[in-house]
Chains A and B, each alone.
Chain A
Amino acid sequence: MNSLIKLLPTTLDFVLHRSFSITSPLNNLQKVSRVNVVDNSKLALDGNVYKRMPRIIHCYKKNNSLTRTRLTAGLGDKVLLAIKGQMKKAIIVGCKQTVRKPNVPQFDKNNVVLIDDDGNPIGTRILAPIPAFFRTRGDLAKIAAIATTFV
């Protein structure tokens, strides 16, 4: 038993200091994460140079419940953006995505495209490559239509 007591301080210390997280890793975008608007609309061009970077205020995706929204948003999700003192809806087009999935592109920046309340994109062209699986989804067809390159 004495030997165990001698052992305990070092080993238990080791066990207690092992960091394990209880929440799932927040690898996608969340509230107050800053984004890069990839659009040729005037608001996007001005908003990227504005003193406060455009940032996410709210995520619209629902997590199997009618009331609560998800904390995180990934590729192809709709979010609410604070840009140049305004609130605008946007769709995530590129994500850094530290936990990577096969066949899904991972970008160096978090890109976003502005849309209006009806879901139509404000700009007429997207200045960055967008993932190829956007063509498969009907709700993102309007964004895929104005894209220049697919990856």
Chain B
Amino acid sequence: MALAFSNTNKFLLNNQHILRSVLILSVRYKQRGHIADHLVEHHRKLPLSKVKTSATEDVSQVNDEKNQNVRTTPHDFKYVYPDFLPNPIPFLRDRILEKLERKDMFRRRQQIDIPEFYVGSVLAVTSADPYAPSRRNRFVGICIQREKHGLKHEFTLRNIVDGLGVEIVYELYNPTITRIEVLKLERRLDENLAYLRDAPPEYCTFPFDMEPVKLPPGSGVPLNTIQVPITSTHWQYKWERHDLKGVLLPPLPRSVRKAAERYSEPWRQWDIMRQYRTEIHDEDRDEIFEDIEKHKQDLAQYRIDSKENIKIIRTRQKAAGRKAILDDSQQTKHSNPPTSK
């Protein structure tokens, strides 16, 4: 009996142990903002990253002697190329997939010029539309938001057409897009301009025949510090809770203000661990930046090659000229044996 009891007890204990660990783990996953340490450190312990760290150390040692500016990425890098930054959530990262996606993105960038643009700048996108009379569809609007990582990067354009607000989501690497123009390069105070939906229509109306605004060469990206008033009675979101800088809110009742205070999280900006989790680190950014630099050189070479190809096609003689050459060659064939090269 004693044996049996001890056995069952052991079994129970074991089971309890398993249950407890599983429960705690599962609960921990679901807790917001809580990630297990082994998940955070997972991609660092991979053999790929080990090789990379050793390589970068060597490079840094060499560069410190020669030139310090080679390895440093510009501060605007993550704003200029936000589509190249991978998903910062550690267990959703896959280094091989990122590398392959980057390759595909570069291949697409060889075909069309994807310019530098920001949330708040005015764009014109032309896409192929086989059913339209001119075989293409052009839409002009202000860029409201940019989202998703890598090859799936999307941006949203908003405009008011015939007094009705219209928004279109475009995939940046969609092959049906034939041209992307920047009509007005600008940056706003916020990273998401969804509040323009509740603003008066004059703040997001842009004519379709708008002429591009030229900036002086060498100037930085201008920052537009306009504050947009919100006038609609039914808001899409509670804007007072989002800590927006480019918004002029109407006078709010006391209860709404109190609720906004209660839900505000001012300690977020001091949360270093959160920052660490939601951002891509300098080592990874350097790797991506090196790839981009390499791509730029390749792109220049590709352009030269393609131009030469075009020249060869253009220098080909027309039908009348070719006939004359053929006649000449036939005459020469009869007279001389063909020479092999």
Which A residues are closer than 8 A to B by beta carbons?
Answer: 1, 4, 7, 11-12, 14-15, 18, 94, 100-109, 111, 127-129, 132, 135-136, 148-151
Contacts and interface: CB of A to CB of B under 8 A. Distances in A.
B27 interface: yes
B168 A106 contact: yes
Contact of A102 (B23, B129, B161, B170): B170
B221 interface: no
A6 to B, nearest CB: 12
A129 B162 contact: yes
B228 to A, nearest CB: 16
A108 B165 contact: yes
Contacts of B171: 102-103
Contacts of B27: 7, 11-12, 14-15
Given A103-B168, A151-B166, A4 B23 contact: yes
Given A7-B24, A7-B27, A100-B169, 6 more contacts: A12-B27, A15-B30, A103-B171, A105-B168, A111-B164, A128-B162
A71 to B, nearest CB: 24
Given A103-B169, A148-B162, A1 B16 contact: yes
Contacts of A149: 161-162
Nearest to A94: B164
Contact of B166 (A1, A12, A106, A148): A106
A150 B162 CA distance: 11
Contacts, number: 75
A149 B30 CA distance: 48
28 contacts: A1-B20, A7-B24, A7-B27, A14-B30, A15-B30, A100-B167, A101-B169, A102-B154, A102-B171, A103-B174, A104-B168, A104-B169, A105-B166, A105-B168, A107-B166, A108-B164, A108-B165, A108-B166, A108-B197, A128-B164, A129-B161, A129-B162, A135-B131, A136-B131, A149-B161, A150-B132, A151-B139, A151-B166
B243 to A, nearest CB: 23
B23 A132 contact: no
A94 B176 CA distance: 23
Contact of B167 (A1, A12, A105, A148): A105
A146 B204 CA distance: 27
A102 B164 contact: no
Contact of B164 (A11, A107, A132, A135): A107
B168 A151 contact: yes
- Sort A-B residue pairs by CB-CB distance and give the 10 closest, nearest first: A108-B165, A135-B131, A11-B27, A106-B167, A129-B161, A102-B169, A102-B171, A105-B168, A128-B164, A136-B131
Interface in B134-162: 137, 139, 154, 156, 161-162
Given A18-B30, A108-B164, A151-B166, A132 B137 contact: yes
A111 B164 CA distance: 10
B31 interface: yes
A94 B137 CA distance: 18
A92 B131 CA distance: 20
B205 interface: no
Contacts of A105: 166-168
Nearest to B26: A15
B192 interface: no
B178 interface: no
Contacts of A132: 129, 131-132, 137
B185 to A, nearest CB: 24
Contacts of B167: 100, 105-107
A14 B132 contact: no
A101 B166 CA distance: 13
Contacts of A15: 27, 30
A119 to B, nearest CB: 20
B110 interface: no
B137 A150 contact: yes
Residue of B20, B127, B131, B154 with most chain A CB atoms under a 10 A cut-off: B131
A13 to B, nearest CB: 11
Nearest to A128: B164
Contacts of B23: 4
A145 B131 CA distance: 13
A45 to B, nearest CB: 16
A149 B131 CA distance: 14
A137 to B, nearest CB: 9
